């Protein structure tokens, strides 16, 4: 009964349509036949006539006006069944079209459904379940295994594995501990955590993503705008064409049939429906397209520029090699970490982190600390004066064998820190920015996607840039660049190419805005990147760039298929009408069928590269392994 009540209108006009078909075959001139067909025309066509009238008030000649003219003309010449059939088929097509279009936007509804509705607030050791809209920043909430994290916050107690796939597309759960940031709607796999709320409501990451997807699905691409302009002039042309046909043949039936079959419905919808489905698919993989333009531009790219630090590399310097001279390695690392504890330089943090990983006690404090900007740090520990930094910090010549070892380390892309006392060099620390695991595979796969050249742009030194680009197989690199230099280099390639720039943060903003298409990596924690780039990869996994390019090309191909099919159908019907093989109702049936075919073709994009049963089994095994590792830790 509920279904019948919901679909009462379409059921009623369907019954009237079947009755009209029967009566048209029995006796079309019978008064009952005329009443039934007239009722069907009025019921099914009321919203069409109303829309046509509204369009005329704003001097718009649209599809509804074409159908209205055709229906009125059919009534005038006494063909009531054609009038009834055309209005019914047009309305039925609209209903099916509306339901099908809702499927193309299903990805957005999935995101909205991710929002939890309640949170467990801790107040003076008491747990209270509150509605999400009552949460405030600074509230302390408790999340248990299997629950969704209610909102964005920072962990203040506990260490857990969190499944962020619904937001980042990453299949592997992420390990998080105290002081790590967590995001609302992600799923707690194991353990429990207490979180201090940092953002609520529309400020949360999920709300911003939903807002961006909504805007992207409504943002029109160049092709879509062109099709709308085309339709604006095409529709009046159809009216003029029908008038000319009537003038030449004096056949009103032929003229009004031409009005119906030449409706550009499938053509108008052919591009937006593909973009909406493509954007929805990408959102489920943790890839945000800012609109149809973003998809078009990314699909055209043939040169990809990469920022280095934080994009191809982890963006976190790591101590990878220590050389000591007449000393114990851990002892030297301890002294270096104690001295560097007064510095916030990323290279200093790499040394401190390495000492902590080896459980070396670095609680002691140095004395007489002196920061040398651009050189390093000088300090005293246990009454011995030490220096750690670059060559400019030394007050004596570097012995030739050590100089050779420094050159060897730097040739491998390391930044070398030299540690010394007042008389001699005590050791060398080789620090490098680790390459992301996905970077090597990505560069190789880009070639298969038709990218003819990959170029790295970095502010780092030439030897480091050479090492990274050689390791990754990047075609070319530019080193020692300022942000404006990166933008100038990208611009110099615009004449014969379509450029893509991939970066990760605020220092890349100028380059991101200069390239024809821009992609930001790791947008989950980087608002500037999300605002500036055309495409945002929500996780740190740069391998998703391949998915983004594949989806953009797939959407472009789908759009071309829709446009070609729509034009072919219109051409086929026009030829059929000219040779008197297509009636008005048959023309409307084929027309509406073509609209549905276009939508169904676009819906295929929602299932593109979704992963099969094997992927699910593999992911389940990975989850079990991760949980096991966590328990062991």
Q: What is the pLDDT of residues 413-456, one digit of tens each?
A: 788 889 998 888 999 999 888 888 888 889 989 988 889 999 99
Question: How far apart, in whole angstroms, are the C-alpha atoms of residue 477 and residue 469?
Answer: 7
Mean pLDDT value across residues 374-393: 86
pLDDT score at 132: 83
Q: pLDDT for 279-308, tens place per residue?
A: 888 887 888 888 788 888 899 999 999 988
Question: How far apart, in whole angstroms, are the C-alpha atoms of residue 591 and residue 266?
Answer: 8
Can you give the pTM of this predicted structure? 0.70
Residues 6+ apart with CB under 8 A from 313: 433, 434, 435, 436, 439, 468
Residue position matching structure tokens 């009321």: 46
Mean pLDDT value across residues 41-69: 84
Task: Name the pLDDT band for 388 (thresholds 50, 70, 90).
Answer: very high
* Percent of the chain whose pLDDT exceeds 70: 85
Question: How far apart, in whole angstroms, are the C-alpha atoms of residue 223 and residue 558?
Answer: 13
- Strand order of the β-sheet with 499-503 is 287-289, 535-537, 517-521, 499-503, 303-307, 453-457, 476-478
Catalytic annotation, residues: 307
Q: Residue 489: is its pLDDT beyond 90?
A: yes
Token readout for 83 is 């009038």
Task: Name the pLDDT band for 546 (thresholds 50, 70, 90).
Answer: very high
**∠ Cα 96 99 104 (to 5°):** 125
Q: pLDDT for 4-15, tens place per residue?
A: 667 788 888 889
How would you class 463 by CB atoms within 10 Å of its CB: exposed for 0-12, middle for 13-18, buried for 19 or more? middle
Which phi and psi angles does 81 have, rounded to 5°? -65, -40
CB neighbourhood size of 505 (10 A)? 21
Question: How far apart, in whole angstroms, are the C-alpha atoms of residue 151 and residue 154?
Answer: 10
Token readout for 487 is 């933008």
Mean pLDDT value across residues 497-510: 80
Q: pLDDT for 573-625, tens place per residue?
A: 888 888 888 887 788 788 778 888 888 898 888 877 654 444 444 444 444 44
Question: How far apart, in whole angstroms, are the C-alpha atoms of residue 486 and residue 390?
Answer: 27
pLDDT score at 620: 46
Closest CA to 456 of 489, 422, 492, 417: 489
pLDDT score at 561: 93
Pick the more confident residue, 267 or 534.
534
| Rounded (10°) CA dihedral 439, 445, 451, 454 | 30
Q: Residue 113: is its pLDDT beyond 70?
A: no
Task: Name the pLDDT band for 631 (thresholds 50, 70, 90).
Answer: very low
Question: How far apart, in whole angstroms, are the C-alpha atoms of residue 524 and residue 598?
Answer: 34
Token readout for 504 is 């990760």
Mean pLDDT value across residues 525-551: 80
pLDDT score at 622: 45
Q: Residue 523: is its pLDDT beyond 60?
A: no
Residue position matching structure tokens 């080193």: 479
């Amino acid at each position: 009964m509920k279904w019948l009540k919901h679909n009462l209108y379409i059921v009623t006009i369907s019954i009237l349509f079947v009755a009209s078909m029967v009566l048209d075959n029995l006796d079309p001139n019978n008064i009952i036949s005329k009443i039934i067909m007239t009722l069907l025309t009025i019921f099914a066509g009321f919203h069409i006539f109303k829309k046509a009238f509204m369009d005329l008030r704003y001097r718009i000649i649209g599809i509804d006006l074409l159908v209205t003219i055709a229906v009125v003309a059919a009534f005038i010449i006494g063909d009531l069944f054609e009038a009834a059939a055309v209005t019914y088929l047009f309305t039925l097509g609209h209903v099916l079209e509306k339901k099908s279009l809702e499927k193309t936007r299903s990805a957005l509804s999935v995101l909205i459904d991710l929002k939890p509705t309640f949170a467990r607030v801790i107040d003076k050791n008491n747990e209270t379940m509150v509605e999400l809209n009552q949460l405030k920043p600074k509230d302390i909430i408790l999340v248990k295994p299997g629950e969704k994290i209610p909102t964005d916050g920072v962990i203040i107690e506990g260490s857990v594995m969190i499944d962020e796939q619904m937001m980042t597309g990453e299949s592997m759960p992420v390990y998080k501990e105290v002081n790590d940031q967590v995001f609302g709607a992600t799923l707690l796999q194991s353990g429990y955590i207490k979180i201090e709320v940092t953002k609520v409501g529309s400020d949360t990451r999920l709300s911003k993503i939903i807002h961006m997807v909504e805007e992207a699905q409504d943002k029109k691409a160049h092709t879509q705008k062109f099709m709308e302009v085309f339709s604006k002039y095409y529709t009046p042309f159809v009216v003029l064409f029908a008038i000319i046909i009537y003038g030449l043949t004096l056949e009103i039936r032929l003229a009004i049939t031409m009005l119906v079959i030449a409706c550009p419905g499938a053509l108008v919808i052919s591009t937006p429906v593909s973009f909406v489905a493509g954007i929805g698919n990408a959102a489920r993989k943790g890839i945000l397209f800012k609109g149809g333009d973003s998809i078009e531009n990314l699909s055209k790219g043939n040169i990809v520029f990469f920022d280095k630090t934080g994009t191809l590399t982890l963006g976190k310097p790591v101590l990878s090699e220590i050389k000591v001279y007449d000393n114990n390695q851990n002892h030297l690392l301890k002294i270096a970490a104690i001295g560097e504890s007064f510095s916030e330089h990323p290279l200093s943090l790499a040394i401190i982190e390495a000492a902590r990983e080896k459980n070396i006690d670095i609680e002691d404090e140095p004395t007489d600390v002196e920061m040398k900007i651009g050189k390093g740090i000088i300090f005293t520990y246990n009454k011995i004066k030490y220096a750690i930094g670059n060559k400019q910090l030394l007050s004596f010549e570097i012995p030739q064998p050590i100089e050779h070892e420094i050159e060897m380390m730097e040739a491998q892309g390391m930044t070398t820190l030299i540690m010394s006392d007042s008389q001699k060099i005590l050791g060398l620390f080789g620090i490098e920015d680790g390459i992301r695991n996905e970077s090597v595979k990505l560069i190789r796969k880009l070639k298969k996607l038709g990218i003819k050249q990959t170029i790295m742009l970095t502010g780092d030194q030439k030897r480091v840039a050479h090492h990274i680009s050689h390791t990754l197989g990047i075609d070319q690199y530019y080193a020692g660049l300022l942000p404006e230099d990166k933008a100038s280099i990208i611009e110099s390639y615009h004449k014969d190419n379509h450029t893509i720039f991939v970066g990760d943060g605020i220092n890349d903003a100028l380059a991101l805005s200069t390239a024809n298409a821009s992609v930001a990596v790791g947008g989950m924690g980087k608002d500037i990147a999300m605002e500036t780039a055309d495409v945002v990869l929500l996780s740190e996994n740069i391998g998703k760039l391949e998915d983004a390019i594949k989806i953009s090309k797939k959407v472009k191909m789908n759009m071309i298929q829709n446009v070609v099919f729509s034009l072919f159908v219109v051409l086929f019907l026009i030829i059929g009408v000219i040779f008197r093989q297509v009636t008005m109702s048959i023309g409307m049936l084929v027309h509406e069928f073509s609209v549905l075919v276009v939508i169904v073709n676009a819906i295929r994009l929602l299932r593109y590269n979704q992963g099969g049963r094997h992927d699910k089994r593999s992911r389940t095994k990975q989850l079990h392994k991760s949980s096991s590792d966590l328990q062991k830790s």
